[in-house]
Amino acid sequence: MPSMPYIAGVDVGNNTTEVAIAEIDGRGNPRFLSSSTVRTVGIKGTLRNAMGIIEALDQALKPVGLERSQLDLVLLNEATPVIGDIAMETITETVITESAMIGHNPSTPGGQGLGQGRTIALDQLRSSTNHQPYIVIVPGQVEFKDAAEQINAARSHGLNVAGAIVQKDDAVLIDNRLQQPIPIVDEVRYIDRIPLGMPAALEVAQPGRTIERLCNPYDIATLFHLDSEETKHVVPIARALMGTRSAVVIKTPKGDIEERRIPAGKITLIGHKQKAEVPVDEGADAIMEKLATICPLEEIRAEAGTNVGGMFEQVRKVMADLTDQPVSAIRVQDIIAVDTFKPQQVLGALAGEFAMGNAVGLAAMVHTHKLPMQRLARKLEEEIGVKTVVGGVEAEMAIRGALTTPGTKAPLATLDLGGGSTDASIINEAGEMRSVHLAGAGDMVTLLIDTELGLNDKELAEQIKTHPLAKVETLFHMRHEDGSVQFFDKPLDPRLFGRVVVLGDRGPIPLDIKHLLAQIVAVRQGAKKKVFVRNALRALERVAPAGNIRLIHFVVLVGGSGLDFEIPKMISDALFEYGVVTGRANVRGSEGPRNAVATGLVLAHAQQRRGSS
Amino acid sequence: MADYPSSTEVRRPAVLLLAVSAGKIDLQPVFWGLEEEGIPLEQHEATRGEAVVLAKEAAHMSPLNVGIGVSGVENKIVLHHRDLPADQPLFVIDLRSAPVKELRRLGMNAARLVKAEPLLLKDDVVPDLPPSPRAKQAAPVSDELVERIVQSVLAEMAKARGTLWKETASV
């Protein structure tokens, strides 16, 4: 009796490569033996994928005691030929060419209230006889005791010292040694850049409060006697100072402060009959509104020579290289735009302060005829000596796999929340399928988190995206973001103490940023909502009968993002309003949202066998 | 016995420092560190004991659960917390080699331990001042670098030509 054939279904995705191993019995029914997931090697559709596939095959075969050579057939997905790219387009930028403001949160400023006067170096205080108020600048080489003594002495000579700006972390120490308290801002790193002899105002708020005067343009105008035109110019300063506990504003003679709007380029949306242009700097909502009106959308172009143009070129070039087609044949077919903000180092700042620039995050997607999966299949066949065929369209396979979830039956829609794209497919009672691929998914969420928190660390942003946070409150316990407390037998690493940590797979990672836990959670959840919830609705609208989501009754989530600890709930909440039952797939009753395509490939093949025998 | 107060006495909230034979040691920076962070410190003399043991004892007696032990015999200063195992103090500093800065940091960390704020660690590098935006320096350019750039530009150009040629050929 011939042994039962062993079949492997392989799904190469943007981020993961998944394998399902099954044996086919005499009647053509598959029995699944094992599955595996590894990181995809190289860009999806390239020959380098073979390495990842072999690793995934080995991982799946090992626990069931099989060798690669015992496989009879490897089925490869007909990967959807979509590729996405993401970019960040800054719209506004605060430029302060003359040093004019300090707005930061030293952990311990001194004194409180508002002080106003001309800036003066500490060592010049002694020789001054003027009775106008002064703001004293204390450089790092001066000991706090000397500084306090000199200020006290100056005051006893009748000088009016209204406040102090200190380079080192000495504000409380100086303040405690003064006969009369004054507001003091410390930890000002670039103290030597402060212009001397200029009118300045300094404010320190009570603990637990933020400044009230220097973040209001009219208060600044009052303090410095500004006219309406000048007041306009201080708006970016006031905005940058909002929410800080201490601040300094200095009026410089040629203080050139402006909020520049950066020409970000235009996007042209070309539909079957219509055509529309939207400037990127009008923001994400304007872009998405226009996009929704143009249907069916055929191509999206970006103005050459601008940042958006550059990004579009990049996507098209990668796709052209991948598919061996000329760049001119590649069209961008979908974009998603998201409003975001980007902390930017303020030019001319004195303590490394940031201003929030507005930005638009863009994800673009290109669709071509075919990825070179045949080439990959041949390469794999050579490497492992097992017959490899490309079978089945990815979206259809995904639906087949998803339908193995207990409690589901057609009609059914799947949402595949991947790394590069958000895909939706639908199957009706008659077994007809329809699918759509939209730009923007997990990678874009990572980008948003990375920029909005100013991390400049994609790995860390990825960790923040996929794991909950906690605050280490003592050496022995942390409070999770939901408020629950976890105690530990052994003391925690002192590096974690007092910090917000990401509970990563390999233990807690301390975050070296000043954001509060709640702020980081808000950024994370905001990014997920902006991308996934919006895209889920967009995608389902496109595949729904008559474009009406209410006519879809069941939606299952497949793909890696379906494993996320909060995205399924967000989407479920959004779809609940439409009366849709939403849940995470449980492929074959055991695999969760993973392995849908690999499973579907095996099922489709088994069905073929049954049909032909 | 030591002449510090017994733990049953009512004490004001403060970090406690127990010192033995520390007459010659300048502990001022430790006080400053705590002062800047706004947490009071009380010092008491002990007659004998190792710095680690004193620190642990001080932590037990401090209403804030944070103690510092100093020994002029061992030339050591130790920061401890009530809940930590006796033999696992948070920081141990050798006074013979420690700069003033480090003592002040120990004081700040004692205060931050009370306030549950991130500790200042030795390996935290304070970022260097970035160059003033008006005084941007050009990076030094070596001949080798120029050579490499020229080579890569030429290579790119050759590639571009190649594809162009291919395209025309295929038309």
Q: Is the dihedral of CA A148, A149, A153, A156 positive or negative?
A: positive
Q: In what order do the strands lie in the sheet with B41-45?
A: B41-45, B15-20, B66-71, B76-81, B91-94
Position B22 confidence tier, pLDDT thresholds 50, 70, 90: confident
Does the distance separating the beta carbons of A108 and B37 come in below 8 Å? yes
Say whether A100-255 and A88-93+261-367 share the same fold: no
A223-232 confidence digits (pLDDT tens) = 988 888 888 8
Is residue A347 very low, low, confident or very high in pLDDT (cuts 50, 70, 90)? Answer: low
Residues of B with CB below 8 A from A510's CB? 118
Domain residue extents for chain A: 1-81+370-406+593-613, 88-93+261-367, 100-255, 409-584
The answer, yes or no, to whether residue B167 has pLDDT greater than 60, is: no
pLDDT on residue B141: 59
Which amino acid appears at position A43 of this protein? I
Give the residue from chain B lying closest to A96, CA to CA: B133
A475 interfaces chain B, CB cutoff of 8 Å: yes
pLDDT at residue B161 in the model: 54
Q: Which residue among B36, B83, B133 sits closest to A170, beta carbon to beta carbon?
A: B36
pLDDT tens readout for residues B112-139: 999 999 999 875 544 444 433 333 334 4
Helix axis angle for A49-61 and A373-384, nearest 10°, is 50
Flag whether pLDDT at A189 surpasses 70.
yes
Tell me: pLDDT of A477 over 80. yes
Other CB atoms within a 10 A radius of the CB of residue A288 amount to 17
Q: What is the mean pLDDT of residues A95-124?
A: 79
The pLDDT tens digits for A440-458 are 888 889 999 998 998 989 9
Nearest CA in chain A to B32: A173
pLDDT at A115: 94
- Work out whether strand A332-345 and strand A73-78 pair parallel, antiparallel, or are unpaired: unpaired
Average pLDDT of span B80-103: 91
Instruction: Tell me how far apart the alpha carbons of residues B113 and B123 are, in angstroms, rounded to a whole number.
Output: 18
pLDDT of residue B163: 47
The terminus-to-terminus CA distance of chain A in angstroms comes to 17
Out of A65-69, A300-304, A500-504, least confident range? A300-304
pLDDT confidence tier of residue A331, bands split at 50, 70 and 90? confident
The span from the CA of A555 to the CA of B105, in Å, is: 57
Spatial separation of the C-alpha atoms in residues A485 and A496, rounded to whole Å: 15
- CA atoms of A402 and A32, how far apart (whole Å): 15
Q: Mark yes or no for CB contact A498/B115 under 8 Å.
A: yes
Does the structure show a pLDDT above 80 at A315?
no
End-to-end CA distance of chain B: 100
Give residue A101's pLDDT. 64
* CATH hierarchy code of domain B15-115: 3.40.50.10150
Q: What is the pLDDT of residue A81?
A: 60
Alpha carbons A464 and A163: distance in angstroms, whole number: 41
Q: What is the mean pLDDT of chain A?
A: 87
Looking at residue A147, its pLDDT comes to: 95
Position with higher pLDDT, B7 vs B65: B65
The full set of domain ranges for chain B reads 15-115
* Range with the poorest average pLDDT among A129-143, A254-268, A368-382: A254-268
Query: What CA–CA distance (Å, rounded) separates B135 from B141?
Result: 18
Question: Lowest-confidence range among A246-260, A367-381, A477-491?
Answer: A246-260
For range B75-81, the mean pLDDT: 95
What is the reported pLDDT for B9?
A: 57
Residue B166 has a pLDDT of 42
From A39's Cα to the closest Cα of chain B, the distance in A is 31
Rg (CA), chain A: 31
**Cβ contact A327:B160 at 8 Å:** no
pLDDT band for position A208 (50/70/90)? confident
The answer to which of A42-46, A508-512, B52-56 has the lowest mean pLDDT is A42-46
Position B133 scores a pLDDT of: 37
Interfacial B residues in 88-117 facing A (CB < 8 Å): 88, 90, 112-113, 115-117
Range scoring the smallest mean pLDDT among A360-369, A421-430, A573-582:
A360-369
- pLDDT of A82: 65
Min Cα distance B1 → chain A (Å) is 31
Can you read off the two tokens belonging to residue A67? 């060798």
Crossing angle for the helix pair A458-466 and A517-528, nearest 10 degrees?
A: 90
Mean pLDDT of A334-344: 85
Q: Which residues of A touch B121 (CB under 8 A)?
A: 494-495
Joined tokens for residue A80: 């959807």
The verdict on domain A1-81+370-406+593-613 having CATH code 3.30.420.40 is: yes
Task: Provide the CB-side half-sphere exposure for A243 (13 A, CA).
Answer: 10
SS3 of chain B: CCCCCCCCCCCCCCEEEEEECCCCCCCHHHHHHHHHHCCCEEEEECCCCCHHHHHHHHHHHCCCCEEEEEECCCCEEEEEECCCCCCCCCEEEECCCCCHHHHHHHHHHHHHHHHCCCCCCCCCCCCCCCCCCCCCCCCCCCHHHHHHHHHHHHHHHHHHHHHHHHHHHHC
Q: Which comes out higher in pLDDT, residue A484 or B97?
A: A484
How confident is the model at residue A28, as a pLDDT?
Answer: 85
User: Highest mean pLDDT range out of A36-45, A417-426, B39-48?
Assistant: B39-48
| Subunit contact A190:B121, Cβ cutoff 8 A | no
Burial class (CB in 10 A: 0-12, 13-18, 19+), A242: middle
- Is B120's Cβ below 8 Å from some Cβ in A? no
Give CA–CA dist A401/A22, Å, rounded. 14
Give the CATH number of domain A409-584: 3.30.420.40
Task: Provide the pLDDT for residue A446.
Answer: 92
Domain A100-255, CATH 3.50.30.70 — does that match?
A: yes
Out of A26-35, A89-98, B5-14, the most confident range is A26-35
The phi and psi torsions of A197 (rounded to 5 degrees) equal 75, 15
Name the closest residue on chain B to residue A188, using Cα atoms.
B129
* pLDDT score at B157: 67
Shortest distance, CA A172 to any CA of chain B (angstroms): 5
> Computed over its alpha carbons, how large is the radius of gyration of chain B?
29
Q: Which of A396, A517, A538, A498 is nearest to B117 (CA)?
A: A498
What's the pLDDT at A126? 84
* Dist CA A161 CA A98 (whole Å): 25
Q: How far apart are CA B38 and CA B13, in angstroms?
A: 12
Inter-chain touch B118–A347, beta carbons under 8 Å:
no
Q: Contact A17/A57 with Cβ under 8 angstroms?
A: no
What residue type is A209 in one-letter code?
R
Q: Mutate one of A141, A475, A488, A500 to test the B interface: name it (highest B CB count within 10 A).
A: A475
Q: Does domain A88-93+261-367 have CATH number 3.90.470.30?
A: yes
Number of residues that make up chain B: 171
Write out pLDDT tens, residues A533-582. Answer: 999 999 999 999 988 999 998 999 998 778 899 999 999 999 999 999 99
pLDDT of residue A613: 58
Of B116, B121, B129, the CB nearest to A190: B129
Distance CA B91, CA B106 (A): 8
Q: Average pLDDT of B41-50?
A: 92
**A207 confidence band (pLDDT: 50, 70, 90):** confident
Contact: A497, B119; criterion CB under 8 Å:
yes
For residue B37, which residues of chain A lie inside 8 Å, CB to CB?
107-108, 172
Interface check B128 vs A, CB under 8 A: no
CB B40 within 8 A of CB B17: no
pLDDT tens profile A249-278: 888 766 555 556 666 788 899 988 888 999
Alpha helices by DSSP H, A115-242: 144-156, 171-176, 217-224, 228-241
pLDDT digits (tens, 9 = 90+) for A577-598: 999 999 999 999 999 999 999 9
Mean per-residue pLDDT, A145-167: 93
